[in-house]
Amino acid sequence: MEIIKVKEEYIKLGQALKAAGLCEKGSDAKTVITDGMVLVNGETEVRRGRKLYPGDVVSFEGEQIRIEE
């Protein structure tokens, strides 16, 4: 599981996928998110701008990202 520490209150979903190295470009992140391939806390998420807060878990292609402070 990849850990992403946020310096602000939240990080957006597309940014988190890029920060974890699961998507190279923002356009790649947009595509996988809008295609329904990304889960946030176990539920499909199709909004690239979804705000992630500490404690949230993102799943994509068998990989997981946990957001922490």
Q: Where are the domains of the chain?
A: 2-68
Enumerate the β-bridge partners of residue 11.
52
Burial label for 40, CB within 10 Å (0-12, 13-18, 19+), is buried
Residue 37 confidence (pLDDT): 97
pTM of the model: 0.92
Residue 27 confidence (pLDDT): 93
Residue 19 confidence (pLDDT): 94
Cα four-point dihedral sign 58, 59, 65, 68: positive
Residues 6+ apart with CB under 8 A from 63: 2, 20, 22
Q: Which two tokens stand for residue 36?
A: 């329904």
**Which CATH number describes the domain made up of 2-68?**
3.10.290.10
- At 14-54, the pLDDT tens digits run 999 999 999 999 999 999 999 999 999 999 999 989 999 99
